[in-house]
Structure 1
């Protein structure tokens, strides 16, 4: 876990900002000891909205996924972090992607009983898909895919590991 991961998880906004300003850490660094979580995953899970914002402003990609396909939106949904989900959606982060078990953030929020998040995510999913379609039509580039995770997922399928045999 890098210094940036630790500061993001702790919600130490000033430290996160200082690390990013000094270019001391890559905001998209995946921690292999923690299922490939990035600092953004930690900040989203802990509900540190301003930390999420500054990480994204400094190049953190909200489309990156953990080993099991969880995006920052999945972690925010699990923890009931509605403000983080609203911020991610306002920044056109992909909040409607399935993990390796086929669960979207809305389903994760539902499992954990975060009904306000479920209501928001159901509406936001439709808006996210509409924006993605409009962006494609207008030629607007979107960062909504984690190429590394997609390749890992494809390899698992080729090796006979299906959605029903993996766990988050």
Structure 2
């Protein structure tokens, strides 16, 4: 793959955030954009994070078909499942679960998508995740026994996590916890 121009990636992120499936398709078909590119200006969100935030199912399927990895995390460890849980997009969570994505992965603060759904009052998502989390754990256990490789690790996350641990005096500080999560200093809605 050729090196990607920053403006191309910004266009892909914007097209996904706007839910413009036709534009997303055109950008991806050109083959110049990495669907796993993390936009540092938006807390390391990938286009798949934006699709989950917006509940854009068609865009999400398109991104995955072009190689988007659902295990990639933001600067504080949020997966697409965290954003779907926050926004109440049950259909996104069901799709991620059907793809055997680790929908029980904790963020930097230890919050799983189920906990995020609880915080934001997304009852249907909580009910689904209560059943789906044990299934997800069981699938990982069986896959490990069979020697199957699962795409669950973000190679950048270990380093980011260490940097966060060094920058925060204590992981147990609960002050202003929402601002330290997925939203950051920028407003997340487009």
What TM bracket, shorter-length normalisation? over 0.9
CA distance, structure 2, for counterparts of residue 105 and residue 143 of structure 1: 18
Q: Secondary structure at the match of 1:45?
A: helix
Q: Over alpha carbons, which structure has the higher Rg?
A: 2
Q: Secondary structure at the match of 1:2?
A: helix
**Alignment partner, residue 138 of structure 1:** 146
Q: Secondary structure at the match of 1:37?
A: coil
Question: Residues 75-94 of structure 1: matches in 2 within 5 Å?
Answer: 75-94=83-102
**Alignment partner, residue 71 of structure 1:** 79
Which segments of 5 or more consecutive residues in structure 1 lack a partner in the other structure? none
Q: Secondary structure at the match of 1:121?
A: helix
Once the two structures are TM-superposed, the CA of residue 161 in structure 1 deviates from its matched residue by: 4.6
Q: Give TM-score, length-normalised by structure 1.
A: 0.94
Which segments of 5 or more consecutive residues in structure 2 lack a partner in the other structure? 1-8, 182-190
Question: Residues 18-167 of structure 1: matches in 2 within 5 Å?
Answer: 18-157=26-165, 161-165=169-173, 167=180
User: Which has the larger share of helix?
Assistant: 1
CA distance, structure 1, for counterparts of residue 171 and residue 16 of structure 2: 30
1:2, 1:25 within 8 Å by CA — same for their partners in 2?
no
1:27, 1:58 within 8 Å by CA — same for their partners in 2?
yes
Cα pair distance change 1:159/1:9, threshold 3 Å: closer
User: Could you list the per-position Cα deviations for residues 85-137 of structure 1 after superposition, in whole angstroms to 9, with x for gaps in the alignment?
Assistant: 10111111111111111100001011111100001011111111111111111
CA distance, structure 1, for counterparts of residue 25 and residue 170 of structure 2: 40
Cα pair distance change 1:107/1:18, threshold 3 Å: same
Once the two structures are TM-superposed, the CA of residue 39 in structure 1 deviates from its matched residue by: 0.3
